[in-house]
Amino acid sequence: MSDHVSGRGLQRAELARRTGCNLETIRYYEKIGMIPDPPRTPAGYRVYDTSHVSRLKFILRARELGFSIDETRGLLDLVDGGDQTCAEVKERTERHLADVRAKIADLKRIEKVLSATAKRCSGEDVPECAVLETLDGS
């Protein structure tokens, strides 16, 4: 199989436009192997096809849902292996959901502390500050 194609397909800028992904992000995903290297034209231009569009959209959606690079790579490995089961995907998703729920609980705790601290702060031009006292542990 040749590494070169006739020039039909998408250049990186068009891939970016179709997916809403930044050019540098596409380069990064290629560099770390999440997007397979596309074939090149005889002039050396990368040429992407619909499989690249689909894969990039998958990655972007997974990232949008908070899956880490490694978690996304794991999901792609399941897809690429062709032997994924719904049970495997569900288990990974439930693990991720538990992490998201823990982060939400942390954020709610942080919000409560910040809200209470902000209420104690006078906001006046004085050296005493409840926010700084809270951060200092006083």
CATH number at residue 34: 1.10.1660.10
Burial (0-12, 13-18, 19+ Cβ within 10 Å), 41: middle
Least confident range of 14-28, 48-62, 117-131? 117-131
Q: Residue 137 is part of which domain span?
A: 85-138
Are 23 and 13 within 8 A, CB to CB? yes
* pLDDT per position as a tens digit, 40-76: 988 889 999 999 999 999 999 999 999 999 999 999 9
In a domain, 21, yes or no: yes
Count of beta carbons in the 10 Å neighbourhood of residue 130? 16
Q: Are residues 1 and 62 in the same domain?
A: yes
Residue 4 has pLDDT above 90, yes or no: no
Are 76 and 59 within 8 A, CB to CB? yes
Euclidean distance between CA atoms 100 and 55, whole angstroms: 24
8-state DSSP, 9: S
* pLDDT per position as a tens digit, 25-40: 999 999 999 999 999 9
In a domain, 71, yes or no: no
In a domain, 14, yes or no: yes
12-20's contacts with Cβ under 8 Å and 24+ in sequence apart are 12/46, 12/48, 14/48, 15/48, 15/52, 15/53, 15/56, 18/53, 19/53, 19/56, 19/57, 19/60, 20/60
In 3D space, the residue among 47, 38, 53 whose CA is nearest the CA of residue 7 turns out to be 47
For the whole model, what pTM was predicted? 0.76
Task: Provide the 3-class DSSP secondary structure of residue 47.
Answer: coil
Backbone angles phi, psi at 48, to 5 degrees: -95, 155
Band of residue 138 on the pLDDT scale cut at 50, 70, 90: low
Band of residue 14 on the pLDDT scale cut at 50, 70, 90: very high
- Cα 115 to chain centroid, rounded: 30
Q: Are residues 95 and 48 in the same domain?
A: no
* Count of domains observed in the chain: 2
Residue 20 has pLDDT above 60, yes or no: yes
